[in-house]
Amino acid sequence: MELDSLRADSPVPLYHQLYQLLKQRILGGEPGFGAKLPTEAQLAEGFGVSRVTAKRAMDLLVASELIQRKRGRGSHVVFQAPASDVEAPLVGMLEKLAQMSRSTVVRVLHIDRRPPPANLVEELGIPADEPVHYVVRVRYREDHTPFAYYESWTRGIEHGFDADAIEHRLRFDIMAENGHQIARIEQHLSAAAAAAPVAEQLRLVPGDPVLTLVRYSFDTEGDLVDLLHCQYHTGHFHYRMNLSMEDYRR
């Protein structure tokens, strides 16, 4: 701890300066939830202040519900810093997919081969009885918070499309290995109410709002290869679009 972090010549009392400094660190997530803080004696020595000053600062942290004191166990942080929003490639930003896959975790809930629902047969351009890969998965942040629920229907895949591969590789790479190089993507963004299965996985209440995205992926032949239906937890996800005025034409 920096001895020059506090200023004796400041009109702000030393205990309040120390409180503000510790508060800022806790709100910033360092030390994090559950971390044990130095004792009042250690704070006093580290910042060159009296133990009374250190105690008053700690009292304010307790009053602010940032830390909790327990006899014989010391003081621990009880504030949980909100996790950062997750940014995802919603507007054709395919170069971001690999980056997102590295910073998040996917778990496959279900995978099989089956004929697609009747309303998707025409869109996929296949016979009604032709099986496609149907996959249900959930994407988590690094802190294990679920933020996305995916259902996908993928045609023309003969190998390499199992749960382990889907959890550890980009699906577009697997499609390419099966002869389908994705060349164009179309996406539809909307809002919906979470159905019970989605709510359970995203830790929501059925009927809570979710951000929905339907993504159509076409190969170089113009054929629809993959139809992905995404539902996002609005508390852990945000949508950002960058627009350039260079593209604007009157």
Q: What are the structure tokens assigned to 155, written together?
A: 């045609």
Same domain, yes or no: 167 and 226: yes
Task: Report the distance separating Cα 180 and Cα 174, nearest Å.
Answer: 9
Residue 71 belongs to domain with CATH number:
1.10.10.10
Q: pLDDT tens for residues 174-232?
A: 999 999 988 888 888 888 999 999 999 999 888 989 999 999 999 988 899 999 999 99
Give mean pLDDT, residues 62-76: 87
- Of 58, 77, 96, the one marking the end of a domain is 77
Encoded amino acid at 166, one letter: I
What region, left, alpha or beta, does residue 72 occupy, with left being phi > 0 and alpha being psi -120 to 50 degrees?
left
For residues 172 and 114, membership in a common domain is answered with yes
Residue 1 has pLDDT above 90, yes or no: no
Among 45, 77, 109, identify where a domain stops: 77
- What CATH number has the domain bearing residue 191? 3.40.1410.10
* 52 domain-assigned: yes
Same domain, 47 and 108: no
* SS3 of residue 21 by DSSP: helix
Residue where a domain stops, chosen among 16, 49, 77:
77
Domain hosting residue 143, numbered range: 86-238
Residue 112 domain flag: yes
Q: Locate tokens 């044990």: which residue?
A: 36
8 Å CB contact between 48 and 3: yes
More confident residue, 244 or 77: 77
Q: For position 86, what pLDDT does the model report?
A: 53
Q: 146: which DSSP letter?
A: E
User: Across all residues in the chain, what is the average pLDDT?
Assistant: 83
SS3 150: strand
- What's the structural domain count of the chain? 2
Residue 23, domain member (yes or no): yes
Asked if residue 246 is part of any domain, the answer here is: no
Q: Are residues 59 and 143 in the same domain?
A: no
* 3-class SS letters over 67-129: EEEECCCEEEECCCCCCCCEECCCCCCHHHHHHHHHHEEEEEEEEEEECCCHHHHHHHCCCCC
Report residue 87 as tokens.
């940014």
Tokens of 64: 């602010």
pLDDT tens digits, one per residue of 84-118: 555 554 444 444 555 666 678 999 999 999 999 88
pTM of the model: 0.61
